């Protein structure tokens, strides 16, 4: 639910691309009607993404009204907002909202949050903690990444993006250097440029896979190309 048409369209396209089946609502009234229709059809919603700041009926009020409908199954709820307010987190916990995220939100962060809340299973009687941008960053796994890229600008940009996400990066300027780096230390992932001098990305990856026939290990390789 989002009253901004552009936000609704973009989120709808993203969710559809991920294989989900989103229903878009421009208001709380539309969202309530969609929930009741889905329940009557026998295919209830399992996830609600709602904007917090809405005219007539805001996101928190919508959640309260859905919670009051005892004939509706329990649904996982995520709150998105462009302007966080003091007390919002406490209100989310009170209403059983699973995630509270600030917009604009990146696709990777949104997917992480959705996978987190849909996969959350409390280990005790306590409710799972509220998922926020901070908890997603704190809970992310730091990877050791090998970047095979001959363009200096791309090296710096990619390294900076990965380091901002908490990962460590080693750089190789061609496929041969990448193979040498893999012999010296272990990596969790390789970002492999396809077109490089000396040895291109396909040749380097073929060499990696050939070696894995003996070691029986598997190193994820992501190909990159202009």
Beta bridge partner(s), residue 21:
none
> 70 pLDDT band (50/70/90 cuts)?
low
- 121, 139, 157 - which closes a domain: 139
Q: Are 133 and 114 in contact (CB under 8 A)?
A: no
CA–CA gap between residue 226 and residue 208 (Å, rounded): 22
- Which residues touch 91 (CB under 8 Å, ≥6 apart)? 60, 97
Query: Is there a single domain that holds both residue 72 and residue 154?
Result: no
pLDDT given for residue 141 in this prediction: 74
Phi, psi of 77 (to 5 degrees): -120, 140
Range of the domain at 61: 5-139
Pairing mode, strands 144-148 and 76-81: unpaired
- Whether 72 shows a pLDDT value over 60: the answer reads no
- The structural domain count of the chain equals 2
Query: Is there a single domain that holds both residue 90 and residue 189?
Result: no
List the single range of 65-79, 145-159, 168-182 with lowest mean pLDDT: 65-79
> 223 pLDDT band (50/70/90 cuts)?
very high
Query: Is there a single domain that holds both residue 110 and residue 169?
Result: no
pLDDT given for residue 73 in this prediction: 57
Query: Is there a single domain that holds both residue 14 and residue 101?
Result: yes
Query: Is there a single domain that holds both residue 121 and residue 159?
Result: no
- Whether 131 shows a pLDDT value over 80: the answer reads yes
Query: Is there a single domain that holds both residue 28 and residue 101?
Result: yes
Query: Is there a single domain that holds both residue 41 and residue 23?
Result: yes
Query: Is there a single domain that holds both residue 21 and residue 50?
Result: yes
Phi, psi of 163 (to 5 degrees): -65, -35
pLDDT given for residue 103 in this prediction: 86
Q: What's the whole-number average pLDDT of the chain?
A: 88
Give 137 or 206, the one with higher predicted confidence: 206
Query: Is there a single domain that holds both residue 83 and residue 107?
Result: yes
The tokens describing 88, both together, are: 């919002």
CATH assignment at residue 175: 3.40.50.2300
pLDDT given for residue 208 in this prediction: 96
- 139, 172, 207 - which closes a domain: 139
């Amino acid at each position: 639910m989002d009253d901004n048409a552009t936000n609704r369209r973009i989120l709808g396209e993203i969710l559809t691309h991920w294989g989900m089946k989103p229903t878009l609502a421009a208001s709380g009234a539309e969202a309530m009607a969609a929930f009741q229709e889905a329940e009557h059809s026998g295919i209830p919603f399992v996830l609600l993404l709602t904007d917090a700041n809405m005219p007539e009926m805001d996101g928190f009020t919508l959640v309260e009204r859905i919670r009051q409908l005892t004939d509706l199954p329990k649904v996982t709820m995520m709150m998105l907002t462009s302007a966080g307010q003091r007390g919002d987190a406490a209100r989310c916990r009170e209403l059983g909202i699973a995630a509270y995220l600030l917009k604009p939100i990146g696709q990777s962060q949104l997917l992480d949050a959705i996978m987190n809340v849909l996969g959350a299973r409390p280990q005790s009687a306590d409710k799972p903690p509220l998922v926020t941008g901070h908890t997603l960053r704190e809970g992310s796994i730091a990877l050791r990444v090998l970047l095979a890229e001959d363009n200096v600008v791309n090296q710096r940009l990619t390294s900076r993006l990965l380091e901002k996400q908490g990962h460590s990066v080693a750089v190789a300027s061609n496929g041969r250097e990448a193979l040498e780096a893999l012999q010296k230390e272990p990596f969790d992932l390789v970002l492999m440029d396809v077109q490089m001098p000396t040895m291109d990305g396909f040749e380097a990856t073929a060499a990696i896979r050939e070696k894995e026939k003996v070691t029986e290990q598997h190193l994820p390789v992501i190909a990159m190309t202009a």
